């Protein structure tokens, strides 16, 4: 965002940097720390929390910060911030409570733990930046309600595909073209991948096998596109999306021919993806325009004759762009991407293998389930189980491979905040919709 650099320069000159704290110091968290500490004047990463303290220290060390203070109380953290010391802690709640923190970046990829952190941060009137599609796609709409009530911003991030897609969606809409599809470009989609098959790739790039499995098996892209749908009011045209596979290297401008036109033109449009297209791993928006003169101009500008026009961004740069999201939230009260109201699309759990009664489900990107996008009205009508809530559930009956799970198929773990938030989300928006009618 062009204005952000000037706004941050001003904060730097005034000696009043944006102060941000981060929960989670894994692969992506370390990248964020490196970016803020080395390349973003006017912003300071004042504290990092991680369940293992050594990982928090490692994130600072890799960013060139050699001196840090271990803190165990809010007062110790506040004192460290006042003295300009970098702080590390195992207690994420300290970051949410401390004065001197403008925003909290949540980058753990968890759901239950992250829900506690985000609620605490919102309650303490901290802006929340989520690099956590799983939490956002499961209970993001109700968290947005709480954030609005507290007068703070909750947002997913620039850099990840949903944020990059939303930036492009806003641009396309802003020039008078009506977006009808928000699309994600993938290089691979195989719902039966697991941490064993992905171990070599994960080792090569220094990532966790379950994380890269969630990319390969479609769970991550399902969460990403659900987030986009919830921010735009779009839907999916079918369970799991169309997801056409095209010859490797096919240029994304050909996407105007890959989806049924009548489906795109209905209502508010759809979210979807494609496998094999270039530039990968970019994103794209298909839009339409009704005015004949503007269509003439769009053709002149090499976008074709219509009725669909393809706009694309050839990359997403993940942690490099996260500080932009922090600045947008703190300095301008602007979310890169956040739910606009009731959920439109959810991610439900499907069996990756034949599942047996009595088994306890593992997590996203593991061996037992994969995620599929489905429209929220269908999810509620059929009582489908969100994959974000599936981990730890005990099966009450056998489930064949590829069958979508329902709440009737499982016993939920006792006393989880994420289940209470999901129930509250369903109740809140059902009541909201009934009051609108």
CATH of the domain at 150: 3.40.50.720
Mean pLDDT of 285-303: 97
Q: Is the same domain home to 75 and 183?
A: no
Q: Is the same domain home to 142 and 248?
A: no
Domain's final residue, options 281, 302, 332:
332
The beta strands (E) that lie in 24-173 are given as: 43-49, 69-70, 87-89, 103-106, 127-130, 154-156
**Is residue 57 situated within a structural domain?**
yes
**Is residue 167 situated within a structural domain?**
no
pLDDT higher than threshold 70 for residue 432? no
Give me the long-range contacts of 85-88 (CB less than 8 A, separation at least 24).
Answer: 86/45, 86/46, 86/47, 86/48, 86/60, 87/46, 87/47, 87/48, 88/47, 88/48, 88/49, 88/50, 88/53, 88/56, 88/57, 88/60
**Is residue 92 situated within a structural domain?**
yes
Q: Is the same domain home to 19 and 124?
A: yes
Q: What is the mean pLDDT of the chain?
A: 96
Q: Is the same domain home to 298 and 380?
A: yes
pTM for the whole structure: 0.95
> pLDDT digit string (tens) for 80-127?
999 999 999 999 999 999 999 999 999 999 999 999 999 999 999 999
Q: Is the same domain home to 371 and 324?
A: no
Domain's final residue, options 307, 332, 357:
332
CA atoms of 282 and 279, how far apart (whole Å): 6
Q: Is the same domain home to 128 and 261?
A: no
Q: Is the same domain home to 60 and 90?
A: yes
Q: Is the same domain home to 263 and 326?
A: no
Which residue range(s) make up the domain with 9?
Answer: 2-160+320-332
Q: Is the same domain home to 154 and 247?
A: no
Tally the domains of the chain: 2
> pLDDT digit string (tens) for 347-387?
999 999 999 999 999 999 999 999 999 999 999 999 999 99
Mean pLDDT of 388-394: 98
**Is residue 169 situated within a structural domain?**
no
Q: What is the model's pLDDT at position 437?
A: 39
Q: Is the same domain home to 216 and 347?
A: yes
Q: Is the same domain home to 280 and 196?
A: yes
Q: Is the same domain home to 40 and 154?
A: yes
More confident: 426 or 200: 426
With 0-12 / 13-18 / 19 or more C-beta atoms within 10 angstroms meaning exposed / middle / buried, residue 292 is exposed
Q: What is the model's pLDDT at position 433?
A: 59
With 0-12 / 13-18 / 19 or more C-beta atoms within 10 angstroms meaning exposed / middle / buried, residue 56 is buried
**Is residue 394 situated within a structural domain?**
yes
Mean pLDDT of 53-76: 98
């Amino acid at each position: 965002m062009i204005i952000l650099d000037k706004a941050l320069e001003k904060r730097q000159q005034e000696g009043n940097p944006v102060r941000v704290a981060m929960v989670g110091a894994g692969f992506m968290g370390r990248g964020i720390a490196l970016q803020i500490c080395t390349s973003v004047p006017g912003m300071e990463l004042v504290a990092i929390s991680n369940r293992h303290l050594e990982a928090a220290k490692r994130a600072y060390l890799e960013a060139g910060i050699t001196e840090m203070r271990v803190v165990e109380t809010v007062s110790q953290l506040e004192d460290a911030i006042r003295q300009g010391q970098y702080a590390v802690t195992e207690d994420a709640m300290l970051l949410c409570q401390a004065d001197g923190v403008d925003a909290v970046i949540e980058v753990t990829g968890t759901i239950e733990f992250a829900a506690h952190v985000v609620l605490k941060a919102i309650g303490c009137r901290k802006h929340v930046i989520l690099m956590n599609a799983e939490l956002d796609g499961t209970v993001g709409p109700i968290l947005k309600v709480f954030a609005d009530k507290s007068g703070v911003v909750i947002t997913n991030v620039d850099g990840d595909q949903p944020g990059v897609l939303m930036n492009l969606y806003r641009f396309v809409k802003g020039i008078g073209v009506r977006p009808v599809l928000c699309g994600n470009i993938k290089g691979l989609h195989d719902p039966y991948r697991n941490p064993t098959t992905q171990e070599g790739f994960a080792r090569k790039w220094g990532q966790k096998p379950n994380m890269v499995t969630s990319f390969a098996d479609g769970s991550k892209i399902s969460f990403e596109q659900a987030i986009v749908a919830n921010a735009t009011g779009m839907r999916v045209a079918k369970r799991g999306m169309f997801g056409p596979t095209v010859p490797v290297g096919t240029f994304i401008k050909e996407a105007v021919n890959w989806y049924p036109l009548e489906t795109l033109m209905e209502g508010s449009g759809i979210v979807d993806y494609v496998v094999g297209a270039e530039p990968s791993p970019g994103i794209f928006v298909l839009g339409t325009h009704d005015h004949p003169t503007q269509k003439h101009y769009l053709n002149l500008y090499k976008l074709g004759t219509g009725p669909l026009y393809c706009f694309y961004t050839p990359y997403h740069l993940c942690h490099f762009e996260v500080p932009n999201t922090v600045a947008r939230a703190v300095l301008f009260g602007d979310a890169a991407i956040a739910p606009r109201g009731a959920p439109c699309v959810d991610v439900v759990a499907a069996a990756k293998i034949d599942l047996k009664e009595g088994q306890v489900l593992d997590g996203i990107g593991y061996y037992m389930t994969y995620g599929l996008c489905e429209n929220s009205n269908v999810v509620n009508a059929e009582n489908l189980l969100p994959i974000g809530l599936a981990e730890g559930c005990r099966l009450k009956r056998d489930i064949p491979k590829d069958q979508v799970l329902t709440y009737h198929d499982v016993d939920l773990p006792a006393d989880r905040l994420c289940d209470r938030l999901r129930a509250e989300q369903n109740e809140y928006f059902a009541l909201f919709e009934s009051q609108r009618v």
